[in-house]
Amino acid sequence: MRHKRFDLKATVLGLCVAIIARAGMAEVCSASAQAGSSPARQTDQFTPLTPAQPSPYFEEIYRDFYNNYRLGPGDEIAIRVGGQPDYSLDHVKVVPTGNIYHPLVGDIDVAGLTIDQLTRKLTADFGEYVINPKVSVGLLVAQSAKIGVLGEVVRPGIVIMTEPMTVLGAISASGGVADSGSKSEVTLLRQSNDGRLRTVTVNLKHILEGKADPDENLVLRAGDTLIVHTNVRKKISNITALGGFAQFVAFITLTGR
């Protein structure tokens, strides 16, 4: 059997395609204002999301996420060992204790390791039983609670929630608002119980200046996506029109522990 190594680009794109195939596409719509709710206001209604080839913008985000993602309970991986089909596993789930089981070496603690670190660890461990093992590892399912931060921030991408996080906290974790970004209008996309994405506008400038109400610095939920606009008035559609935006939103919203 010819050994097939994991391809990074194919892996990250495959994650998104698999998620969309399982869940279908969400629609983006405006949120109805509720009496007594926070001062955040509703924004424009958008057209339904449709699958598209990810643009370089999103490809870079996925690549960074894949390279830096640290494994945890509930994640699923695949392990390939060249020329050793008995030691290649198509699906391995990380148990709540942070371990996986491999028939060659038994229990392995993988919690907190990146895919590259685990690949190097398995190569070393398997090397005690197999001569010059050719090991590759692929991330199949990433179950960590994720927040998307897009637009005019220093490091747009995916933020992993390891503790309760606010709008300000997520943007700070992404390096803060870029010089070209607007602090007065940040869009929050949140999936409601009916599966539709609703938008809320947050004034980050008021939060930073201490002028916002306590509940205006919204506590984020797994699956939320923040979009920071430019200083010059720019509609959210410029981000949603990028190829791969639908896949990105599905990837953020459909998994999370």
HEC profile for 88-134? CEEEEECCCCCEEEECCCEEEECCCCCHHHHHHHHHHHHCCCCCCCC
Q: What residues does 106 pair with on adjacent strands?
A: 102
State the pLDDT at residue 42: 44
- Helix 245-253 to helix 56-68 angle, to the nearest 10 degrees? 30
For the chain, percent helix, then strand, then coil, each to nearest 5?
Answer: 30, 25, 45
Residues 6+ apart with CB under 8 A from 231: 152, 180, 181, 182
**Closest CA relative to residue 27, chosen from 51, 43, 49:** 49
State the pLDDT at residue 257: 53
pLDDT tens by residue, the chain, 257 residues: 444 455 555 555 455 444 433 433 333 333 333 333 444 544 433 333 344 566 888 888 888 888 889 999 999 999 999 999 999 999 999 999 999 999 999 999 999 999 999 999 999 999 999 999 999 999 998 888 899 999 999 999 999 887 889 999 999 999 999 988 889 889 999 988 787 888 899 999 999 988 888 777 888 988 899 999 887 655 555 677 777 887 888 888 765 55
Whether the full predicted model's pTM is greater than 0.75, yes or no, is no
